[in-house]
Amino acid sequence: MLNKKIAFIGAGNMAEGIINEIVNKQVFERNNITVFDVLSERMEYLENTYDVQITNNLQSAIEKADFILIAVRPQDIEKVAQNIKKMIKEEQIIISICAGIKIEKLANLLGEEKKFIRIMPNTMSEVQQGYSAICTSDNVSEDEKNDMNQILQSLGKVIFINENLFNAFTAYSCAGPAYVLYFMAALVDAGVQSGFSRKDALAIASENLLAAVKITQKTGKHPYQITDTMTSPAGITIDGLQVLSEKGFHGIVMASVQQAVKRTNELGI
């Protein structure tokens, strides 16, 4: 548990997701978590649900915090920055989950001397699987990075990346479960078409997906190395894989991810 304080400026769904996990994993004491939001009913909900501290005074939220997590809409960041700029001390860590707002812009708004961490939280935090991404300004120390790593580990795994990969991370990792679920749905339909009940088809597909993930993690082998051991000469599996190859399955998956990256770049997320 971190013997530090964190203040949330903004209390939307993404902020709540982080609050939920850091409370459940006991990363912070509940009385060391403070929430400020312009909607009083939203703050009251978080207070009642997670037993955290709330305040309708920005100064009160910020003044004693070690970490200031900004979780507002991108279009609101300039107004928020104007309100809090003079309240933030140089030793405090500013964490941003504002989509599309780069560290350079945060520094321009809040002061070049400040310490900034930009994060993209894990979208699958509910099941403690998947990655959150982190990048930091140069003046953030290793100890401060380790603290941030501990905070985000409550949501799942953590990866430090260059900021120029944030858009790709959004399209590849954050949206990634949707690609897998889409493939899973197709497998379930194929199971039903083959004669299984939808319940059994879902159960079988789920176990196969879990098994495939676990074997690659356990062996460290590339997926092709594993499928090579599953395809006997003139066998069943190689016939099924031939259709995937003929239909361009590999290229379709790659193209779908690249389209998501393109769209992310267009939106400036």
Per-residue pLDDT reduced to its tens digit, 82-100: 999 999 998 999 999 988 8
The domain of 109 spans: 6-162
Q: What was the pLDDT predicted at 108? A: 95
The last residue of a domain, from among 138, 162, 186: 162
Strands 115-120 and 131-136: antiparallel
The last residue of a domain, from among 162, 193, 222: 162
Same domain, 196 and 236: yes
Q: Which tokens in the block code for residue 219?
A: 């062996």
Same domain, 158 and 106: yes
What gap in Å lies between CA 151 and CA 149, rounded to an integer?
Answer: 5
Please state the pTM of the whole predicted model. Answer: 0.86
Contacts of 255 (CB under 8 A, 6+ apart): none
Same domain, 129 and 195: no
Asked whether residue 200 is domain-assigned, the answer is yes
Query: Residue 3 belongs to what H/E stretch?
Result: none
Same domain, 15 and 96: yes
Q: What was the pLDDT predicted at 125? A: 86
pLDDT in tens, 219-264: 999 999 999 999 999 999 999 999 999 999 999 999 999 999 999 8
Asked whether residue 170 is domain-assigned, the answer is no
* Residue 68: other Cβ atoms inside 10 A: 25
Write the CATH number for 182: 1.10.3730.10
Q: Are 180 and 205 in contact (CB under 8 A)?
A: no
Same domain, 213 and 82: no
Query: Residue 231 belongs to what H/E stretch?
Result: none
